[in-house]
Chains A and B, each alone.
Chain A
Amino acid sequence: MIGPSNEATGSFCIHRLDELSAVRQWLHKALSAHRYGSHDTFAVRTGFEEAATNAIAHGNQGDPAKAATIDLTVDEAKVEITIQDEGPGFDYSHVEDPTARKNLLKDGGRGVMLIRNFMDEVHFNDTGNRIRLVKYRSGVPQQVRADSAPS
């Protein structure tokens, strides 16, 4: 849905990883309609995929009886994605460094790092079962970002 301010909003309730294709299609269409460049699109898609997979596979432990709600907003200045799962949460302040020598050959543990590197803002709720991601369009002046940030 595109509102009067040329903002596209979408909301999804996902139970399984294979249901993410509908969200991917929505996001691809919204990013394209707002003419986000390839670098920003890559960053958004990477952040989204890692956060959504974490919510469904880890937060909800792959339980199809549990839902992950995904809310997306795409406008001219930024992309905002909020994902909430029904899991107990996790301690996001103590995520092991996947680049540490002892972790480098592990087959997991890189998702949060990639989210933090590719998104401009990453906010968790206290429990750690809700994440809000923000990616500003490249080249958006800092003042516009400050104006867009929630008070």
Chain B
Amino acid sequence: MGGSYERIVVEEKGDVTVVRFRESDILDQINIQEIGEEMYSVVEAKPGIKIVVDFRGVEYLSSTALGKLITLKKKVEAANGKLRLADIKPEIMEVFRITRLDTIFDIKSNVADALERF
């Protein structure tokens, strides 16, 4: 599994798959749709996946993108995998807190922490 996606970059770090976004603004509805589909395909290709979504460089995130993350979580867990989010900037963390999504996602400060004891 390599990084041959248009909207995301996929790397394998040991037995953990790390996904990060090519764009800093995850707002455009069309982009969000494509990002979602690419992330789902990564998960569907690897049952039991351990996956970290790296938010490094992401400046804005819409509620539609939050919906894609929720669907991603459901797909990962349905396939007995684990999902963590990492390196979310403070303003976007506020979005997670306001929507109480910080209570359902496993969020770490950075990717290194997210890779530990997965």
Contact = CB atoms under 8 A, between A and B. Distances in A.
Contacts of B59: 42
A107 B75 CA distance: 13
A88 to B, nearest CB: 22
Contacts of A110: 63, 66-67, 99
A117 interface: yes
A99 interface: yes
Given A49-B27, A114-B63, A105 B98 contact: no
Contacts of B46: none
A108 B103 CA distance: 17
Given A42-B91, A108-B67, A98 B62 contact: no
B112 interface: no
Contacts of A24: 27
A106 interface: yes
Interface string A26-54: 00000000000011001001100110010
Interface of B: 27-30, 59-60, 62-64, 66-68, 70-71, 74, 91, 95, 98-101, 103-104
A77 interface: no
A113 B67 contact: no
A131 interface: no
A57 interface: yes
Interface string A106-122: 11101101100100000
Contact of A99 (B30, B68, B95, B100): B100
A21 interface: yes
Contacts of A17: 28-30
Contacts of B27: 24, 45, 49
A105 B70 contact: yes
Contact of B60 (A18, A45, A107, A117): A45
B72 to A, nearest CB: 10
A62 B91 CA distance: 29
B28 A18 contact: yes
Contacts of A107: 66-68, 70-71
Nearest to A17: B29
Contacts of B99: 98-99, 110, 113-114
A104 interface: yes
14 contacts: A18-B30, A42-B59, A46-B60, A46-B95, A49-B27, A50-B63, A53-B64, A99-B100, A105-B70, A107-B68, A108-B63, A108-B67, A110-B66, A111-B63
A39 B74 CA distance: 32
Given A106-B67, A107-B66, A107-B71, 4 more contacts: A46-B62, A49-B60, A108-B63, A111-B63
